[in-house]
């Protein structure tokens, strides 16, 4: 049996907090226990929010936690050709369409529908894409593409579901409602997700799936906030003939008010804790690790 491959995949758009420490330690220690490999991946496709100083801080904070990882580290921004190749395959299957709306236009469409009796939301609470770009006449689509109008590429969810059939994944952790074991994937709950953003020819969903496959990741251990996204990941794996890892979604570390820690809220940063004199042993006990 080849060794299991684990990964920790932070985005350098802020300093790591306690929740990241928990996830990184879980991955690193599971790899060590299972005589597996531990990879670090920098998910830096969001050029507006990612910064080199945050990436440098990730390495420092993880080293302080006692982690070591294989090099070179995969940086998503350096592999756009891999994502483009996947988009080409999806396009050849007729599963993508360009959507030209601005955020404001989408918000207005959602508002109108909400006033009209409600509009469905995705599992993260964002309204599903309400646009009509999928049914644009071919000539109009061509005209807009030729005019150089910016566009995102969306997955035709209905067609993708039809092609892939029913899908499940193996969950060794649990979802927010305690779901565990073999989970039925419901990617349709996300609607026609964006696979290539207007500003960069990929998206979180696409690059995470391609990278996990290219890096040979066999175990995806990450926060429960990504449990429901796994349905989209399974769908893309199936359509692109990629192997499926085993998933383990873990509890999120919450702040004193019970809210999920985030880089933007006043989450407790590892740097602050470190400079405040906390030891790694104290940090482990704070996040409930032995
Ligand atoms: N880059 C994502 C984050 O920082 C994690 C992606 C994943 O583990 O699948 O939340």
**To which residue do tokens 């496709």 refer?**
45
CATH fold of 79-204 reads 3.90.800
What's the CATH number of domain 1-78+254-290, 1.10.287.70, 3.40.50.720, 3.40.50.620, 3.30.365.10? 3.40.50.620
Q: Would you give the DSSP letter of residue 20?
A: H
Mean pLDDT across 34-57: 97
How far does the centroid of ligand 1 lie from the alpha carbon of residue 137, in Å?
37
What are the DSSP calls for 56-96, one per residue? HHHHHHHHHTT----SSPEEGGG-HHHHHHHHHHHHHTT-E
CB distance 19 to ligand 1 below 6 Å:
no
**What digits encode the pLDDT tens for the residues 111-133?**
999 998 899 999 999 999 998 89
pLDDT range class, residue 198, cuts 50, 70, 90: very high
| 237 contact partners, CB below 8 Å, separation of at least 6 | 209, 213, 243, 244
- The ligand 1 atom nearest the CA atom of 43: 1
The tokens of 146 are what? 């030729």
Answer yes or no: is pLDDT of 259 > 70. yes
Mean pLDDT rounded to a whole number for the chain = 95
Residue 26 has pLDDT above 80, yes or no: yes
Contacting residues for 207 by C-beta, under 8 A, at least 6 apart: 43, 45, 76, 79, 83
C-alpha torsion 178→183→184→186, nearest 10: 60
Q: Where are the domains of the chain?
A: 1-78+254-290, 79-204
Cα(226) to centroid of ligand 1, in Å? Answer: 8
Residue 154 Cβ inside 6 Å of ligand 1? The answer reads no
Centre of ligand 1 to C-alpha 110, Å, is 28
Q: For the segment 204-228, what is each residue's pLDDT rounded down to a tens digit?
A: 999 999 999 999 999 999 999 999 9
Query: Model confidence over 87-111: pLDDT tens digits?
Result: 999 999 999 999 999 999 999 999 9
Residue 119 DSSP one-character state: -
pLDDT above 70 covers a percentage of the chain that reads: 98
Residues 155-174 have a mean pLDDT of: 98
Ligand 1, atom 4, residue with closest C-alpha: 10
Instruction: Determine the residue of 20, 38, 43 to mutate for testing ligand 1's pocket, defined as the one with the most ligand atoms within 8 A of the Cβ atom.
Output: 43
Question: What number is the average pLDDT over the span 24-41?
Answer: 98
Contact 191 CB / ligand 1 (< 6 Å): no
Decide if pLDDT at 265 tops 90.
Answer: no
Put residue 269 in one of left, alpha, beta given phi > 0 → left and psi -120 to 50 → alpha.
beta
Q: What is the pLDDT of residue 231?
A: 98
Q: Is the CB of 208 under 6 A from ligand 1?
A: yes
Cα 60 to its chain centre, rounded Å, is: 23
Mutate to test the pocket of ligand 1, among 5, 7, 10 (most ligand atoms within 8 A of CB): 10
* Cα–Cα dist 30/37, whole Å: 9
Beta-bridge partner residues of 181:
171
Q: Is 10 in the pocket of ligand 1 (CB under 6 A)?
A: yes
């Amino acid at each position: 049996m080849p060794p299991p491959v684990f990964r920790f995949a932070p985005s350098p758009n802020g300093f790591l907090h306690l929740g990241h420490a928990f996830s990184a330690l879980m991955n690193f220690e599971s790899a060590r226990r299972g005589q597996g490999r531990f990879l670090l991946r920098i998910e830096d496709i969001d050029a507006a929010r990612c910064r080199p100083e945050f990436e440098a801080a990730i390495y420092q904070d993880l080293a302080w936690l006692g982690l070591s990882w294989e090099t070179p580290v995969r940086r998503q921004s350096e592999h756009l050709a891999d994502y483009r190749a996947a988009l080409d395959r999806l396009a050849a299957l007729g599963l993508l369409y360009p959507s030209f709306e601005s955020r404001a236009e989408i918000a207005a469409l959602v508002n109108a529908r909400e006033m009209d009796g409600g509009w469905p939301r995705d599992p993260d609470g964002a309204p599903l894409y309400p646009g009509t770009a999928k049914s644009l006449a071919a000539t109009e689509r061509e005209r807009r593409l030729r005019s150089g109008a910016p566009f995102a590429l969306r997955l035709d969810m209905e067609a993708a579901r039809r092609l892939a059939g029913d899908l499940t994944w193996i969950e060794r952790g649990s979802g927010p409602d305690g779901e565990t074991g073999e989970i039925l994937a419901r990617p349709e709950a996300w609607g026609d997700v964006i696979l290539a953003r207007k500003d960069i020819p990929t998206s979180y969903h696409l690059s995470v799936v391609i990278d996990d496959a290219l890096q040979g990741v066999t175990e995806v251990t990450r926060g429960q906030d990504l449990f429901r996204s796994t349905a989209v990941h399974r769908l893309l794996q199936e359509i692109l003939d990629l192997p499926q890892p085993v998933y383990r979604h873990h509890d999120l570390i919450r702040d004193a008010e019970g809210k999920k820690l985030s880089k933007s809220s006043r989450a407790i940063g590892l740097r602050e804790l470190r400079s405040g004199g906390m030891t790694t042993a104290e940090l482990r006990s704070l996040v409930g690790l032995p």
